[in-house]
Structure 1
Amino acid sequence: MFRLLTLCSVSALAASAASEKPRVDRFQLMDHSFNSPLNFDNTLDLWTLTQAAVPAQKHIILSPQVAERTGHFWHKQPLTTANWELNVEFEVKGPQLTKSDGFALWFSEEPFDPRDQTKETWNLYGYKRNFKGTGIFFSTFDSYKRLNPQVSMAQNNGVSAYPSNLSSTGTSFDWRNRGTMIFRMATGPNGMIGQIKAANDVRWTEVFHVKERVKGDVFVGFSAYTGPEAGSPGKKADAVMIKGLSVFNLDMRKAGEANSQTDTEDVKKARELLEHATKNHAEQIEQVRQLTTLLSHHVEQLAPREREQLAQLAKLSQRVRDLSGRVSTLSKEVSGHMQASNGGKGSAMLEQMKFEMDGMRAHFNHHNENHKQTVQRIASSLKTKSGSAGAAAEGQVRALKQHAAIMERTIRRQHSYSQMLFLLVLVIVASFAVFMWRRVHQLEKKHLF
């Protein structure tokens, strides 16, 4: 039952009494709502604060923690709608044993006039007992004068004094010294409902649900009385702080407040748009159902393709990672080979070796030519001397010829040996270059294919 009332309170209580059934939504009444930080623009210009009530940065101090104090906080303009929802955040803290009466939330059919205050008649939570309208009482004591916080609702015609001829109902709920509390209520043709909870709780507690309703054109206000000094421990009392107030209009045909920035014509247009949007409600539901079915089939068809694409993407990602690893390994191996070739200077060394070998070859060729010319000169000299010398020197000449022939053969052998050595070195260098080229080529094929 509680959940049903919670879910349906706004829609059930906001139906209009007119014959035509209106479209119901809600919009916030900004002039009657406020949040911290408070300033003259968003709060103080539209509200009346008297006696002990003072504004703070984050809340309104309705009454201080001092005994024998009264505070009032009233809006200057009335609510012009009878279908509304209200949420108020408050906190009450004080000594464990207190004499404070509590505070009240008023929906008065009369504007607040502080000049009418008298101590004898204005003693109902700081307001007059013959109020006209509706009052929500946050009482510290029950009807037996026991310390038992509760929330109740009462209505009066402005003639009788409380508690005569009043219908009231309520329930016990401890709202003292529990941090921030939230009270909400909604009113409409079907009556009123009020609920309360701690700000950090989830579950709401229903404190009243009646058929009576709050009339239109009422003034919203708060009042509090901290109790007499006699009997108050240390002359201390309960401090009441109003931290925030949100009021919502549930009747889209009315602006809801006199100074509302929402034009009535705009409200009417918004209502027409809502009615047009929901005219063919059944047709829209069928279209949504068909669209949902179409999307479901589409998802079923695309799901296998998406899974296949994801698998291919995973394979490609793995190949990319493998290729990255191979490239890294190739870089390390090439770097190692370059370091083995004296820090990457192998090609320069090969060129230097080739240059030195060419120089040695030219030196050997030049040296051999000199030896050949020397031998030829000796041979010519011997021939000349052999023609003019006698028989005694002929033997010496032959010996010199033999010795020259031996020297010439030796020179030729050395020349051939130097040629072969040069060719061998060239072959070794060429083989090493071919080996290095093939090694690098194999590494490239290994890592790329």
Structure 2
Amino acid sequence: MFSENYDCCTKIFLLSLFIAPILAEWNTQDYIRREHSLTKPYQGSGMALPYWDFLGSTIVTSNYVRITPDLQSKSGAIWNTHPCQTRNWDLQIQFKVHGKGKDLFGDGFVIWYVKDRMQPGPVFGSKDYFSGLAIVLDTYSNHNGAHNHQHPYISAMINNGSLHYDHDRDGTHTQLAGCEAKFRNYNHDTYISIIYKDDTLIVSTDLEGKNAWKECFKVENVLLPTGYYFGASATTGDLSDNHDIVAIKMYELDLLESQNKDEDRSKIIPSAVTFEAPRERIEDTKPAMSGVKTFLWMMFVAIILIVVVVCGIMWYQKRQENARKRLY
């Protein structure tokens, strides 16, 4: 009797070991949407990428899609060809930002969910005054404006097409939320997850190779329409970095019971309740000159004064001499 019970328990235990991973994967990853994802091998026919277009300096290799190389004044982008009709989604991106710079590097890249695709522009290689969502991974601080965070920095911006991204202020005047995130020059894989579910935006990272998400920020009451496009763009200026996309996986998340599956969300105007209107731009106070600069400036002014005085004396003497000649 004991032997029969033992055999039965053993079978149940082994069966649970087989089923558990299946259930865990099913509960964790919902439904992957291939038309919004990018995984290796990248090449389709020739240099084409299935479901994706690219422009600018973007190149495709066997291990990554490099949006910009570690060279000055480069700009590139990659854009999904299919609009997203899913209301709740999780976009997971494996990326790598690296370069030769130790203290100075830049500029960063943006993950987009926007109305207009394949539009080059000044916002990290893509269009300003966009309509939709931008997740900015900024590596270079302009050291301007009243922000108290370090770089690299991850932030979110919602735009209805009327707002300008202010590079001189690192976008802090139009951001929803943000967090510091050291994501440069790692030897291990780095990931970012962007979840939009039940009108809530959650951005998390896995930057330490622990296979666990760490929440960066969470913003509720965010409205985004369906029918927009996913993309990523990057740019370099005087400073540079390699900006690489290794993989993109988009998961369709189940609707909640409170959500109306028949609701038309294609006409929604992007907005967020906690969004702060752009503040008045105030120029930074110019730093005081150092002692050496002050001395050089004063010496320059003194030389100019001496030259003016000498020229004045010479002109006066010449005038006096001409006056004496006329008398004779």
TM-score (norm: length of structure 2): 0.61
CA contact (8 A) 2:155 2:175 kept: no
Residue 83 of structure 2: aligned partner? 78
- Does residue 209 (structure 1) correspond to residue 208 (structure 2)? The answer is no
Q: Show the counterpart of 1:222.
A: 232
Q: Counterparts of 1:199 and 1:218 in 2: how far apart (Å)?
A: 31
Determine the structure 2 residue equivalent to 1:31.
35
Q: Which amino acid aligns with 2:57?
A: A
Q: Write the letter of the residue equivalent to 1:26.
A: D
**Equivalent residue of 2:35, what SS?**
helix
Matches within 5 A, 1:302-317: none
Q: Map of 1:93-108 to 2, 5 A cutoff?
A: 93-94=98-99, 95-108=101-114
CA 178–25 in structure 1, closer or farther in 2 if over 3 Å, else same: closer
The code of the aligned residue for 1:224 comes to A
Contact residue 182 and residue 199 of structure 1 kept, 8 A: no
SS for the counterpart of 1:141 is coil
* 2: CA distance, partners of 1:63 / 1:39: 18
1: CA distance, partners of 2:29 / 2:215? 23
- Paired residue for 1:287? none
| In 1: Cα distance, 2:227 partner to 2:30 partner | 18
Mapped pair 1:109 → 2:109: no
CA contact (8 A) 2:83 2:227 kept: yes
Residue 40 of structure 2 corresponds to residue 51 of structure 1: no
**In 2, are the aligned partners of 1:81 and 1:251 still within 8 Å (CA)?**
no
TM-score w.r.t. length of structure 1: 0.45
Distance in 2 of aligned mates of 1:33 and 1:132: 22
Higher Cα Rg, which structure: 1
* Structure 2: runs of 5+ lacking an equivalent: 1-27, 256-260, 263-328
The code of the aligned residue for 2:113 comes to: F
Please tell me whether the aligned partners of residues 67 and 76 of structure 2 are also in contact (alpha carbons under 8 angstroms): yes
Does the 8 Å CA contact 1:141/1:147 hold for their aligned counterparts?
Answer: no
Matches within 5 A, 1:175-190: 175-179=183-187, 180-190=189-199
Of the three residues 185, 192, 198, the one matched with 2:201 is: 192
Question: Secondary structure of the equivalent of 1:37?
Answer: coil
Helix, strand or coil: the match of 1:31?
helix
> 1:419-430 residue pairs with structure 2 within 5 A?
none
What corresponds to 2:129 in structure 1?
130
Answer yes or no: is 1:170 the counterpart of 2:178. Answer: yes
1:40-90 deviation line (CA, Å, top 9, x unaligned): 169713211111001111110111111100011011111111211111000
Supply the distance in 1 between the matched residues of 2:208 and 2:231 (Cα, whole angstroms).
Answer: 22
Q: Secondary structure at the match of 1:246?
A: strand
Supply the distance in 2 between the matched residues of 1:33 and 1:199 (Cα, whole angstroms): 23
Does the C-alpha gap of structure 1 residues 29 and 202 become closer, same or farther in structure 2, counting only changes over 3 Å?
A: closer
Alignment check: 8 A CA contact 1:28 1:246 kept? yes
Q: For the Cα contact (< 8 Å) 2:117–2:231, is it kept in 1?
A: no
Q: In the TM superposition, what whole-angstrom CA distance separates every residue of 1:112-152 from its partner, at most 9, and x where no partner exists?
A: 34xxx4xxxx2111112211100000001346358610111
The structure-2 alpha-carbon separation of the partners of 1:128 and 1:190, relative to structure 1 and needing over 3 Å to count, comes to closer
Aligned length: 217
Q: Is the 8 A contact 1:194 1:206 kept in 2?
A: yes
CA contact (8 A) 1:192 1:213 kept: no
In 1, Cα distance between the equivalents of 2:210 and 2:139? 21
The equivalent residue for 1:62 is 67
Alignment of 1:391-406 (within 5 A): none
- Once the two structures are TM-superposed, the CA of residue 217 in structure 1 deviates from its matched residue by 1.2
The structure that is helix-richer by fraction is 1
Q: Sort the Cα spacing of 1:247 and 1:199 in 2 relative to 1 into closer, same or farther, 3 A.
A: farther
- For the Cα contact (< 8 Å) 1:189–1:213, is it kept in 2? no
Which structure is higher in RCO with an 8 Å CA cutoff and minimum separation 6? 2
Which is worse superposed, 137-146 or 94-103? 137-146
CA distance 1:203–1:76, change in 2 (3 Å): closer
CA offsets 1:321-357 (integer angstroms, 9 cap, x no match): xxxxxxxxxxxxxxxxxxxxxxxxxxxxxxxxxxxxx
Identity score, percent: 23
C-alpha RMSD of matched pairs (Å): 2.6
Match of 2:246 in 1: 243
**Aligned mates of 1:213, 1:227 — CA distance in 2:** 33
Q: Counting strand residues as a fraction of each chain, which structure ranks higher?
A: 2
